[in-house]
Amino acid sequence: MTSKVVYIGNLRTEAVHQRSGAKLITDAPIDNQGKGEAFSPTDMVATALASCILTIMGIKARDKGLDMAGAFAEVQKTMGSQPRRISRVEIIIQMPDKAYTIEERRYLSEAAEGCPVCRSLSDQLEVDLSIRW
């Protein structure tokens, strides 16, 4: 089992990662009857996408002896309606101020496009990914 998710009440859940015991809370967003006091489930999807992209880039960087420490992603999720779903995720990855060659930039950009989370999401989801060097 990967995780156990318990409905606490008041549109809130607590998820526990079974192997590590790490916990996270989700809360329904304000625009869907919640308090918006924690990540919503759809926030988690958008955030997981960015986390996966950085992780895959980090694996590839490590394989080539490149340092990506300090890279970060800014995530903007847009909800659609009819049906209510995530319609767009914009991710801006800011790379650390290092002298990456054109080949290294291409290599890491291609790695970002190989993210398994993105490959698992609907083709209807618009993903706008940009990398700032």
At 53, which amino acid appears? I
Residue 58 to residue 71: CA distance in whole angstroms: 9
**Packing angle between helix 41-63 and helix 102-112, nearest 10 degrees?**
140
Evaluate if pTM is beyond 0.95: no
Look up the CATH number of domain 40-132: 3.30.300.20
Domain ranges of the chain: 1-39, 40-132
pLDDT tens for each residue of 103-129: 999 999 999 999 999 999 999 999 999
Kindly give, in sequence order, each residue whose CB lies less than 8 Å from that of residue 29, ignoring residues fewer than 6 positions away. Answer: 36, 40, 42, 43
Tokens coding 43: 């926030």
Residue 106 to residue 16: CA distance in whole angstroms: 37
pLDDT tens for each residue of 6-25: 999 999 999 999 999 999 99
